[in-house]
């Protein structure tokens, strides 16, 4: 394991750039990145462990699937 330090570069998902970009560690918690700043747009945010947050489309799809499932018993798929 590498020991992270303030100012280190780290990959993370930037919500503004909508992709994984280089980030600089702004704050550490328990030896892990807590806050990072995007090297491309300089926006600061919590470290997301390189995970993209669900998009509105994905949230809508999940809501629709949940609604459809609660409406009626779906036909059994073979
Ligand atoms: Zn960015």
- CA 34-53-56 angle, to 5 degrees, is 150
Q: Residue 22: give the domain boundaries.
A: 9-70
Spacing, Cα 8 to ligand 1 middle (Å): 16
Question: Is residue 77 in some structural domain?
Answer: no
Spacing, Cα 48 to ligand 1 middle (Å): 13
Pairing of strands 32-38, 44-46: antiparallel
pLDDT > 80? residue 75? no
Which pTM does this prediction carry? 0.68
Question: Is residue 32 in some structural domain?
Answer: yes
Spacing, Cα 78 to ligand 1 middle (Å): 45
Per residue in 1-44, pLDDT tens?
568 999 999 999 998 999 999 999 999 999 899 999 999 999 99
CB atoms within 10 A of CB 12: 22
Spacing, Cα 66 to ligand 1 middle (Å): 33
The predicted pLDDT at position 2 comes to 66
Structural domain tally of the chain? 1
Question: Is residue 26 in some structural domain?
Answer: yes
Question: Is residue 4 in some structural domain?
Answer: no
> 27: helix, coil or strand?
strand
Question: Is residue 38 in some structural domain?
Answer: yes
């Amino acid at each position: 394991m590498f020991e992270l330090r303030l100012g280190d570069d780290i990959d993370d998902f930037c919500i503004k750039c909508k992709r994984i970009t280089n980030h600089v560690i702004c704050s550490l918690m328990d030896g892990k990145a807590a806050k990072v700043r995007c090297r491309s747009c300089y926006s600061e945010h919590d470290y997301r462990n390189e995970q993209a947050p669900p998009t509105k489309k994905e949230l809508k799809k999940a809501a629709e699937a949940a609604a459809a499932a609660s409406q009626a018993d779906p036909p059994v798929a073979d």
